[in-house]
Amino acid sequence: MSDEKFPGWHGTTILAVRRAGKVVVAGDGQVSVGQTVMKGTARKVRRLTPGGHDVVVGFAGSTADAFTLLERLEKKLESAPGQLARACVDLAKDWRMDKYLRNLEAMLIVTDGKDIFVVTGAGDVLEPEHDVAAIGSGGNYALAAARGLMESDLDAEGVARKAMAIAADICVYTNGNLTVEVLG
């Protein structure tokens, strides 16, 4: 977020792991302002069911901005049921082109249990390599841990939980209070 508008705001680690036909999205619950934890139980992973298709979304950034994007994504998915890639690309185009949406400060990880996408306000719709994606303050820690754990015998949820625990041990803006959603 812009330091001019929101000095010292940090928080959120969101991780998605795909393994053996399952996709798990895990998010921590911490929101910090400077050196202070403002909330430790925030829920930043949501399950949507537009048109009867399950989609899980994890978000980092401004909560109000993320909810605006979730509503837009849900409308895109309702108009194109079962077409996650199309809905994400349409959302990214709107986000980049629309004067109002352009100012929204958030990032999304979106999955339908088959595909995983990272969607940004820069117009990016990225499919992760190595079946792992992460965003937020502790995202790089969780990503590195999950990539290393993909060599283990853990299932998708085990990898996600262990990687988030590692991120929480390293990143002061990440805690161990997880919301976990599983698809597949």
Binding site feature residues:
168, 171, 174
**The two three-digit tokens of residue 70, written as one number:** 């979730």
How is residue 118 written in tokens? 């990272």
- Beta carbons of 165 and 176 less than 8 angstroms apart: yes
- The secondary structure of residue 6, as a DSSP letter, is S
CA distances 77 to 17, 25, 94, 139, Å, are: 22, 19, 14, 26
Summarize the annotated binding site for Na(+) as residue ranges. 168, 171, 174
Beta bridge partners of 39: 31
> Residue 152, CB half-sphere, CA atoms under 13 Å: how many?
14
C-alpha dihedral, 72 to 78 to 83 to 85, nearest 10°: 0
Which residue in the list 12, 13, 49, 120 is annotated as catalytic?
12
Q: Does 111 qualify as catalytic in the annotation?
A: no
The residue with tokens 């837009």 is: 72
| Catalytic site positions | 12
